[in-house]
Chain A
Amino acid sequence: MADLTLTKKDFTSDQEVKWCPGCGDYSILSTMQSYLPELGIERENIVFISGIGCSSRFPYYLDTFGMHSIHGRAPTIATGLAISRPDLTVFVITGDGDSLSIGGNHLIHSLRRNIEIKILLFNNRIYGLTKGQYSPTSEQGKVTKSTPLGSLDTPFNPISLALGAEASFVARTVDSDRKHLTETLRAATAHKGSALIEIYQNCPIFNDGAFDIVKDSETKGGALLQLIHGQPIKSDTHGLVHAGASLKVVELNSVPESDLVVHDAHNPDPAYAFALSRLSASELDHVPIGVFRDVERSGYGSLVNNQVADIIAKQGAGDLHTLLTSGDTWKVD
């Protein structure tokens, strides 16, 4: 049984945290440390696996099992662990470069398979650890150390990408919004298969203010379109209506409340969540936040382990002697 007396302190390791002052990673860490006791899982049954990047230092600071692996490959390690150890709760911590550039292949395949892992994608729209090159989520034209004349790449929209990869749970939240981040973690850990959470994370050193519009008290009310299952989708000033096959942001006072799209995170058709994901382009003027999609689909690990259990139930456990002596054999006296 879970030891329900655990506190934030129990999940805090003895390692000195070494992010830059003001880094958004601090608030994510603190929120996670506060949330974990609520999860009701013993520390030894929780594993954090990360890649490489500033964000990927995260596991060192949690007093659970943890592995800081290599650049982009955390989902692969987590996959082997989650399949072979279904008793564990496995988190993947990754950055926008780690998960969408070098590790893009593993991200999409773990989502497609629906591995039982919760992926926290710290999106600061920059390469932090290598000191400020543009990343796959940086806006086109971004001037960085490696793009003095502006980047030419079209960025990824991580939510659209995850949905295209058949993800069964996709959400977005913001580093500094403790309450929303906690709710999102709660929903992700309640979900059975893969969960991808994109966390807008500020890097004050190399990409400061990238998310100010959704963080400043003056602008955020209007910019954040709240995705709450069963509730109309709206911000303080705008709401969402159907526009043919697509969705459109309109001013709240231009339509009756009853015209607003009511959010359905369990909609089996991914086209709906995809349409939501397309509302926020690089400019972030209208940003849906919350759980885009949360549908039930068998987790890969449970399918794998069921296949093993089924064959053993049908044929009995394998016997080594029988295996070695199977097929055509002969005796020499």
Chain B
Amino acid sequence: MAKPVVSLNQVTIRFAGDSGDGMQLTGDRFTMDTASLGNDLSTLPNYPAEIRAPQGTLPGVSSFQLHFADHHVQTPGDAPDILVAMNPAALKANIKDLKRGATIIVDKDEFTNRNLTKVGYPGNPLDDGSLDSYKVHAVPLTSLTVAALSQLTLSRKEAERSKNMFALGLLTWMYHRPTESTENFLKTKFAKKPDILEANLLAYRTGWNYGETTEDFSVSYEIAPAKMPAGQYRNISGNTAMAYGLIAASQRSGLQLFLGSYPITPASDILHELSKHKKFGVITFQAEDEIAAIGSALGAAYGGALGITTTSGPGVALKSEMIGLGVMLELPLIIIDVQRGGPSTGLPTKTEQADLLQAMFGRNGESPVAVIAPSSPSDCFAIAVEAARIATTYRVPVFILSDGYVANGSEPWKIPEVDSLPDLHVEFAKSQEDFKPYLRDTKTLARPWAIPGTKGIEHRIGGLEKADVTGDISYDAANHDLMVRARAAKVAGIEVPNLVVDDPTGEADVLLLGWGSTYGPIASAVELLRANGEHIAQAHLRYINPFPKNLGDVLKKYSKVIVPEMNLGQLSMLLRAQYLKDVIGYNMVRGLPFTTTEIVEATMEVLHG
């Protein structure tokens, strides 16, 4: 008899295991299969900074959370409905996040006395009743996988490594996901290793069959596709979207993309991705340090390329002096800071938004730069294109403040038509007599982009203060004052779209105002609050320097403005300073994105005290 199928609107799954268990890959595959079914989704990878922390320990636990639904999804979900725990450490590290009644699937074989003691379980939670308020499936995952692969000539250890595919197969059955794409993925990935390919495929299918045939799993679930605007979609992470956006900007501007970068978590994947796309004329230069990375990007920009550097907070600290030179030289430059927990080395693999003031002010002198921030993984594409527009139009360094959450998280992305992307064509200074390197465009206040190789406009620039118009060295007091103000006015005058406020009833008194990656949790909190009859307005800043022109008016309109940030109040500080508005900060720095519940509760507190 066929097993019953239950329809659900949404599910949050967390895969958790040892760093070596392949949980990120498992989560990625489940995500791709879910995306291709047309569910909306959002993901949250969470892994330790150590490549392989000691096996079976709490610090070594790596997890991947996925929220998918038949409707619009804003966040990776607050509390998982289902936890796949590959060992006792994974169970212990994650159980506190589960709702009562949640489903737990564990690899029973890993619950040995030794492994239990390692993480401080006094007894076996599978036997002692401590999990009674959950639905527990204790599956002998390891031994089933090993048994299934016994016909192959693999060592036990090698066979065991396929157990994540068993788990993936089982979940694929449970949630009616298609299997072709994962099978194709494995075939490509292990094309040169037929033994490993066979082992993975066999484990995957055995896991699927286990769900289909055993009594332990009596129902399976269906989640209908979400309604999304018509178009072609793919699932995309923030770092990949950023790399694609940069390539798009290079194509649309006709400028060669030059990336100077030094590896650092969580930014390295942009370097990795761009280095795959040399056929777009992309140059990726892995420099000796962050200073050389940005120096090379600035040198390339001076020569007429789209100069980019990617890094995280510690790298930004090293780049400061060169960013100041970019401000002085008034050359286009894109600095991508994928923020992580700080200060110092901080929390390399965790997310945070505490580099905002560093980006704004972390240089000597009056050194204004543009600062923009993507609000979701797929928004990284558009923000990269936008950074190129601002940098090349205004000849100014532009900071993109991404973070670990948007960089590594993923979501479905409606792929834009190439022709719909903005035209970023730029004009270099032409051969001319009596060339004036610092003569500003009256509208943008940009100076000419005057690249070497252009006859007749040979000139010298540098980090010393420039005389207005001629660009000669000048120590003149009045000129310095003029130039400091000119550079500030240029950045302040960058055209950015007005802030859009979402206030459907127009009756809201309280505004939730965020920036960057907090968009998802704030938006889903707003949905919940409104469903409960609350009046609440929402607005989200993608442009931080300059702020949208209408921001002052927006702030005035609401009696209370709540600003959730993953820092101790950096945007709040800017808003108070610039608009004298005493905004209410809601601040957390736990290395994790806000949950919807947290923002709902914080807002309720403000609404009703």
Residues on A lying within 8 angstroms of B by beta carbon are 13, 15, 42-45, 47, 49, 52, 59-60, 62-70, 73, 75-85, 87-88, 105-106, 109, 304, 307-308, 311-312, 315-318, 320-321, 323-325, 327-333
Pairwise interchain contact B247-A80, C-beta atoms closer than 8 A = no
- A147 and B89 alpha carbons, distance in the complex (Å): 58
Pairwise interchain contact B322-A84, C-beta atoms closer than 8 A = no
- A267 and B166 alpha carbons, distance in the complex (Å): 61
Pairwise interchain contact A324-B229, C-beta atoms closer than 8 A = no
Chain A CB count within 10 A is highest, among B35, B277, B279, B453, for B279
Nearest CB of A to B328, in Å:
9
Judge whether B105 is part of the interface by a CB distance below 8 angstroms. Answer: no
- A52 and B301 alpha carbons, distance in the complex (Å): 20
Pairwise interchain contact B292-A69, C-beta atoms closer than 8 A = no
Pairwise interchain contact B452-A65, C-beta atoms closer than 8 A = yes
Given A76-B291, A328-B36, verify A69-B251 contact (CB < 8 Å): no
Pairwise interchain contact A328-B298, C-beta atoms closer than 8 A = no
Residues on B lying within 8 angstroms of A by beta carbon are 32, 35-36, 38, 181, 225, 228-235, 244, 247-248, 251, 256, 258, 260, 277-283, 285, 287-289, 291-305, 307, 321-322, 324-325, 329, 415-418, 452-464, 472-473
Given A320-B248, A331-B231, verify A59-B36 contact (CB < 8 Å): no
- Chain A residue numbers with a CB within 8 Å of B459 are 65-66
Pairwise interchain contact B235-A307, C-beta atoms closer than 8 A = no
Given A68-B463, A69-B462, verify A45-B452 contact (CB < 8 Å): yes
- A70 and B327 alpha carbons, distance in the complex (Å): 13
- Chain B residue numbers with a CB within 8 Å of A321 are 417-418
7 closest cross-chain pairs (CB), A and B: A76-B295, A68-B462, A80-B299, A80-B296, A77-B299, A318-B280, A80-B300
- Chain A residue numbers with a CB within 8 Å of B225 are 332
Closest to B297 in A: A80
- Chain B residue numbers with a CB within 8 Å of A318 are 247, 277, 279-281
Contact of B303 among A60, A80, A331 (CB under 8 A): A80
Pairwise interchain contact A44-B455, C-beta atoms closer than 8 A = yes
- Chain B residue numbers with a CB within 8 Å of A85 are 300, 303-304, 452-453
Given A64-B458, A68-B460, verify A79-B35 contact (CB < 8 Å): no
Pairwise interchain contact B247-A320, C-beta atoms closer than 8 A = yes
- Chain A residue numbers with a CB within 8 Å of B463 are 52, 68-70
Contact of B460 among A59, A106, A312, A332 (CB under 8 A): A59
Pairwise interchain contact B299-A76, C-beta atoms closer than 8 A = yes
Pairwise interchain contact B302-A324, C-beta atoms closer than 8 A = no
Pairwise interchain contact A304-B296, C-beta atoms closer than 8 A = no
Nearest CB of A to B315, in Å:
14
> Given A44-B453, A308-B283, list of 14 further CB < 8 A pairs?
A15-B472, A44-B457, A45-B453, A66-B460, A67-B462, A80-B258, A80-B260, A81-B303, A83-B296, A88-B303, A106-B291, A312-B279, A328-B235, A330-B234
- Chain A residue numbers with a CB within 8 Å of B416 are 324
- Chain B residue numbers with a CB within 8 Å of A78 are 299
Nearest CB of A to B540, in Å:
25
Pairwise interchain contact A44-B234, C-beta atoms closer than 8 A = no
Closest to B473 in A: A60
- Chain B residue numbers with a CB within 8 Å of A327 are 234
- Chain B residue numbers with a CB within 8 Å of A105 are 288-289, 292
Nearest CB of A to B425, in Å:
15
